[in-house]
Chains A and B, each alone.
Chain A
Amino acid sequence: MNFPILSSLILLPTVGALFLFFTKDKDGNNLTAKYVSLFTSVVNFLISIYLWISFDQSTSNFQFIEDRTWIEGFINYKVGVDGISILFVILTTFITPLCIISVNNSVKSKLRDFLIAILIMESFMIGVFCALDLVVFYLFFEAGLIPMFLIIGIWGGPRRVYSAFKFFLYTLLGSVLMLVAIISIYWISGTTDIIKLYELGIDAKYQNLLWLAFFSSFAVKTPMWPVHTWLPDAHVEAPTAGSVLLAAILLKMAGYGFIRFSLGLFPIASEIFTPLIYTLSIIAIILTSLIALMQEDMKKLIAYSSVAHMGFVTLGIFTLQQQGIEGSIIQMISHGLVSAALFLCVGVVYDRMHSRMISSYGGIVTIIPKYSILFMLFTLAALGLPGTSGFIGEFLILMGAFKDNFLVAVLASLGVILGAAYMLWLYKRVVFGKLINSDLKKMIDLDRSEYFILSCLAIPTLFFGFYPDPLINTIEVSVNDLIDMYNLNLTKN
């Protein structure tokens, strides 16, 4: 067996966290803890880049597979990546170090514990994207809740407990059903190995119920309308780094789940429920865009815009067109970069002024010009301007949707108009206009680390906007074969 690269990716952050656990926790400026966690996550990022380089793009087979018996005859610890999951692994390892750098001022107490939570979370997230066994997937998927729950509950804002419980309640509801579904799959097929299940297929008569069970879990995590209301609250209360992780990575687990499981395992049910997904996606796009227009709290606005963007993602996935699914994956990566950046942008001004209200800002462009430029860039990426990664995702999704269903594409395209309206209006109210609040004059422009983080996010946003080939080439074969397999299974039954 080769070097277990995926397991090291999964375990390394946990090892870092354990190491931190045994260091002494000093309140205040705990630099050692920060350096240790930063070092761990950067090494992890480098490993994942190595993984991407040595990844073979010409096949849709799972690669770097590790298979160990965990419970004899029942669960195997099995991990591997294909073109679809590898991008999410890299997104995770890329965002985490940036998150760690960003926890300067926002987290006042128990910095060490906060970093431990972030590292553990990284482990779980990578686990979710690598898992090739349903039980392993489920464990990572659900375990990811715990650090997030703690991050919101301990380091959150004034209504943190309410938000944390709301978050927990929603996600738990879906998860229970998914667990039942996984157990029944084991009863039906005798295995929880995803590759074997792909080959065996699942009997048509069970698919609908199983699909719905998985759907209930993914819909909450996406979040899809109408189970999205936990997201704005969670974001508003979470500390900046928590919001970033939540928006950039946690939400992507569901999109990934839809592609991997709903399409992969239950094609017949997916076909039946496509209208449902379309309807909910369209509602999410239009409704939450309108809601975003009226928000007074910057974080809530971006949270609602996330719901709208994820609406595009779910729409694209179920078009079952090459462009649609590839668009969805790129949209998820892009949203990972852009929403992370937008939450960081809010964090920057929040750290200085301690207000998230749009009305307390205005006219800050001359005071903090560097910030204004970067914020503008991400605003434009969020509204899908050509030349940013946001455009590639949205455009491909709509293109795919149009092939499948005119009306859906037309309605979803309305979201593009609204997206421009709420993002530009937000930017105008925060950055342009007359300076009324004279306290704002004391604001300091981006410091070195903030500048570094936002630039790190800006570069790929622009790069993939002009040259998305590296992303598309990675996923092309896997998506193509996924669609072929889907159609084959449909005709077989």
Chain B
Amino acid sequence: MELSIIFLPLIASIISGFFGRYIGDRNSEIVTSALVTISALLSIHVLYQVIVNQYEENIVIATWISSGSLDVNWSMLIDPLSSVMLVVVTSVSALVHIYSIGYMSHDPHKPRFMAYLSLFTFAMLMLVTSDNFIQLFFGWEGVGLCSYFLIGFWFKKESANAAAIKAFVVNRVGDFGFALGIFLIFYLFGTVNYSEVFQQIPTVVDKNLSFLGLEVKAIDLICLLLFIGAMGKSAQILLHTWLPDAMEGPTPVSALIHAATMVTAGVFLVVRCSPIYEYSPLILNFITIVGMTTAFFAATVALVQTDIKKIIAYSTCSQLGYMFFAAGVGAYNVAMFHLFTHAFFKALLFLGSGSVIHAFKDEQDINNMGGVWKKLPYTYALMIIGTLALTGFPFLSGFYSKDAIIEFAYLKGNTTGYYAAGIGIFTAFLTSIYSWRLIFKTFHGQYNNKNVKIEETHESPLVMLIPLIILSIGAIFAGFLFKNLFIGHGGENLFWAESIKFLEPLSTEHPPTWFLLLTPCLVLLSIPIAYYLFVKNKELPNEIANMNKPLYNFLVNKWYFDELYEVIFIKPSKKLGLFFWKFCDGKLIDGFGPDGISSFIKKCSIKANKFQSGFIYQYAFVMLLGFSALLTFLIVK
């Protein structure tokens, strides 16, 4: 039964991908949605078993690679961590499948789209249920591949193709680190199996490695390399550039892959490897810093973007930052909790924005929207729920998880912890501002679209609204319901059992009351501020932007990362490629090698040709010369 959770999506993908032409669009949609839904129901059942009966199992499906001492199996590991991921992945995926039936109704390639979605689900499930690093890597690259396919789904768009390749290649940079991490693990432990590796970790705590003359602690190096992989997949600063571009894909894809599931794989990796990370305070600090920087950076950029999907993409980036700094301060369970709640409200926001885009007939610029809240009442209400949950409005799901992150950062009690908490609070405020900006500019104010008349905008069909409603229920209640289970104080982490390791139990104290109230107050305060800025006095934001032109440009251009990479990586690689090709291969190697030799021989033979002039007197002269030389030689000798 457990295996069918993984393989139903694969079967769905094969049916829709290879036989979609024969069974028709509608049947492909029904088959894929149905199979993934069954898989989701089974996952919920498994999670229930894990919660109630502490069910755990490690199923070996088949051997994959066995070379020398390396043994890798295809396997399925069910433990608290993977069962939570199972539920997140399959349930969001099932909802997105159903939503896509409506959203993609005008697309000519429906079976292909559904096949990719199901294939993605399969790869993601392989990733989360692996019991070793190499199957994890398989899933890791597999989801990257599906993401590549889906970003470039509209293959005629040049920008979509570019974004797809960018996503894959940037992820490969992360994978480069990840793969090296796996090599190092294999080198040190002779195995890539989680449980065997985690068991041996305490034995290498003091081991040093020298690399390029540097002495590094082996554990730090492993953690760093794995984290580079996580940074790529989870779009953390420096390797984040692909995520906003990935919005070129259809919106359901953004909801499933670039919000709820794939991008959280990095967080999952760090949490899964908590038995390693716990021994590396240095890298944990580093993760905290990267996490909070990303959270802050992405929030600032989101403030000024005008593409509805890009705003949500940067918001995702920022929330992933939160998850990482939770993991960085050692609160892995809180990171998982935020991952869990975030999946609901972020998928809700994306699908909601998809509904808006649908209503405006593929318009994505929020400057060309506005004033339609009465026309799209359900979408409006659902987006409001998503926004409230994201910003951490009291008693919605984001409130519990995000505030817990800030609290634990504060309780960490060291400098990074305080900084992280401070930045976390400030970023929460920014989050609130840009989220409400999106809502107000999209739904309030006056109608700004020139291409579509306001009468033509319409509410989405039921098949799109029902998944939204289900997600909104999750966005409202997930935090409240699962709070005790995931991050409950006392009875210390009964639920997570062995799947997350804490060297020292997390602090059970409470921060001071003023601190607890700070974030919710800021969040509440931000709503009237945003309303004033983006509905009442619309000139003010423009004036502020004009007054601080350099800062504004800096933000609009996303801190100039793309331009920077263009200058330091892309252009030099192309130039180097040309140089090595035209100059090294062409001029040097061929020039002095085969071409050089053949032209040299040609020259020699032309010279030699000249000897055979055909004139007897020349021959006689040469003979005479030779004869006299020989004679001289003999006499002298």
A396 touches B (CB below 8 Å): yes
Measured between beta carbons, the chain A residues less than 8 angstroms from B142 are 385-387
Q: Mark B133-172, 1 if CB is under 8 A from A, else 0.
A: 0100110011001001000100110100100110011001
Q: How far is the CA of A410 from the CA of B63 in the complex (A)?
A: 28
B557 touches A (CB below 8 Å): no
Q: Which of B62, B64, B169, B577 contacts A290 (CB 8 A)?
A: B577
Q: How far is the CA of A82 from the CA of B589 in the complex (A)?
A: 38
A188 touches B (CB below 8 Å): no
Q: How far is the CA of A385 from the CA of B145 in the complex (A)?
A: 8
Measured between beta carbons, the chain B residues less than 8 angstroms from A1 are none
Measured between beta carbons, the chain A residues less than 8 angstroms from B173 are 417
> Which of A17-25, A106-114, A271-279, A428-436 participates in binding chain B?
A428-436
Measured between beta carbons, the chain B residues less than 8 angstroms from A434 are 156, 158
CB contact list, B26-64 vs A, under 8 A: 62-64
Measured between beta carbons, the chain B residues less than 8 angstroms from A365 are 155
CB contact list, B569-612 vs A, under 8 A: 573-574, 576-578, 580-581, 584-585, 589-590, 593-594, 597-598
Q: Which of B169, B576, B598 contacts A165 (CB 8 A)?
A: B598
B622 touches A (CB below 8 Å): no
A403 touches B (CB below 8 Å): yes
Nearest neighbor of A420 in chain B, beta-carbon distance = B172
B550 touches A (CB below 8 Å): no
Whether A398 pairs with B183 at a CB distance below 8 angstroms is yes
Whether B165 pairs with A433 at a CB distance below 8 angstroms is no
Q: Which of B65, B209, B580 contacts A392 (CB 8 A)?
A: B65
Measured between beta carbons, the chain A residues less than 8 angstroms from B138 are 386-387
Whether B179 pairs with A398 at a CB distance below 8 angstroms is yes
Measured between beta carbons, the chain A residues less than 8 angstroms from B67 are 322-323, 326-327, 396, 472, 476
With A165-B598, A386-B138, A472-B65 as known contacts, state yes or no: A402 contacts B183, CB within 8 Å: yes
Whether B580 pairs with A291 at a CB distance below 8 angstroms is yes
B22 touches A (CB below 8 Å): no
Q: How many A-B residue pairs have CB under 8 A?
A: 146
Q: Which of A323, A402, A435 contacts B180 (CB 8 A)?
A: A402
B212 touches A (CB below 8 Å): yes
Q: How far is the CA of A462 from the CA of B286 in the complex (A)?
A: 39
Interface residue count on the A side (C-beta < 8 Å):
62
With A409-B180, A420-B169 as known contacts, state yes or no: A294 contacts B574, CB within 8 Å: yes
A407 touches B (CB below 8 Å): yes
B211 touches A (CB below 8 Å): yes
Whether A326 pairs with B68 at a CB distance below 8 angstroms is yes
Whether A402 pairs with B184 at a CB distance below 8 angstroms is yes
Measured between beta carbons, the chain B residues less than 8 angstroms from A170 are 593-594
Q: How far is the CA of A413 from the CA of B186 in the complex (A)?
A: 16
Q: How far is the CA of A435 from the CA of B173 in the complex (A)?
A: 31
Smallest CB separation, B545 vs chain A (Å): 36
A73 touches B (CB below 8 Å): no
With A166-B594, A291-B580, A291-B585 as known contacts, state yes or no: A413 contacts B179, CB within 8 Å: yes
A36 touches B (CB below 8 Å): no
Whether B172 pairs with A287 at a CB distance below 8 angstroms is no
Q: How far is the CA of A410 from the CA of B178 in the complex (A)?
A: 11
Whether B63 pairs with A420 at a CB distance below 8 angstroms is no
Q: How far is the CA of A380 from the CA of B141 in the complex (A)?
A: 11
Whether B65 pairs with A396 at a CB distance below 8 angstroms is yes
Measured between beta carbons, the chain A residues less than 8 angstroms from B168 are 420, 424
B66 touches A (CB below 8 Å): yes
B187 touches A (CB below 8 Å): yes
With A326-B67, A417-B173, A424-B165 as known contacts, state yes or no: A386 contacts B179, CB within 8 Å: no
A35 touches B (CB below 8 Å): no
Whether A291 pairs with B577 at a CB distance below 8 angstroms is yes
B463 touches A (CB below 8 Å): no
Measured between beta carbons, the chain A residues less than 8 angstroms from B165 are 421, 424-425, 428
Measured between beta carbons, the chain B residues less than 8 angstroms from A425 are 165
B513 touches A (CB below 8 Å): no
Whether A432 pairs with B152 at a CB distance below 8 angstroms is yes
Measured between beta carbons, the chain B residues less than 8 angstroms from A385 are 141-142, 145
With A323-B67, A407-B212 as known contacts, state yes or no: A416 contacts B161, CB within 8 Å: no
With A293-B573, A386-B141, A472-B67 as known contacts, state yes or no: A229 contacts B585, CB within 8 Å: yes
Measured between beta carbons, the chain A residues less than 8 angstroms from B209 are 406
Measured between beta carbons, the chain B residues less than 8 angstroms from A459 are none
B551 touches A (CB below 8 Å): no
Q: How far is the CA of A363 from the CA of B578 in the complex (A)?
A: 26
Nearest neighbor of B584 in chain A, beta-carbon distance = A287
Whether A416 pairs with B176 at a CB distance below 8 angstroms is yes
| 14 A-B residue pairs with CB within 8 Å | A287-B580, A322-B67, A323-B70, A380-B145, A386-B137, A396-B65, A406-B209, A414-B176, A417-B176, A424-B168, A428-B165, A433-B155, A468-B64, A472-B65
Chain A residues within CB distance 8 Å of chain B: 165-166, 169-170, 226-230, 287-288, 290-295, 321-323, 326-327, 363, 365, 380, 385-387, 391-392, 395-396, 398-399, 402-403, 406-407, 409-410, 413-414, 416-418, 420-421, 424-425, 428, 431-435, 466-469, 472, 476, 480
Chain B residues within CB distance 8 Å of chain A: 62-70, 134, 137-138, 141-142, 145, 148, 152, 155-156, 158, 161, 164-165, 168-169, 172-173, 175-176, 179-180, 182-184, 186-187, 209, 211-212, 573-574, 576-578, 580-581, 584-585, 589-590, 593-594, 597-598
